[in-house]
Amino acid sequence: MPMMGRGGLAFDVLSFFFLCFLGFMALRFLVGGSMGHRSYNRWDRVDAEEILRQRYARGEITKEQFDQMLRDLRESKN
């Protein structure tokens, strides 16, 4: 019966899975971690003023609150 090198079949199987794991981790690193672990925030692309307009349109804030918040946003951008 031929002898398996470096410790037998169990070692070869574990080595294979370890190398697969290392390859997967290297791929995740190279892709930038965008394999489902970054939570996507749908507000990332929406302007703060647009959110404010939507809240006013839904009746969540009053006209006075809208005007004040809009002034605050525009002052903070400067």
Domain ranges of the chain: 1-32, 45-78
**Model confidence band, residue 41 (pLDDT cutoffs 50, 70, 90):** low
Please tell me whether residue 46 adopts helix, strand or coil conformation.
coil
| Residue 12 confidence (pLDDT) above 90 | no
**Model confidence band, residue 48 (pLDDT cutoffs 50, 70, 90):** confident
Q: Which two tokens stand for residue 6?
A: 């470096």
| Residue 44 confidence (pLDDT) above 80 | no
For the segment 53-61, the average pLDDT, to the nearest whole number, is: 95
| Residue 5 confidence (pLDDT) above 60 | no
Return the sign of the alpha-carbon dihedral for residues 31, 33, 37, 43: negative
**Greater pLDDT, 41 or 69:** 69
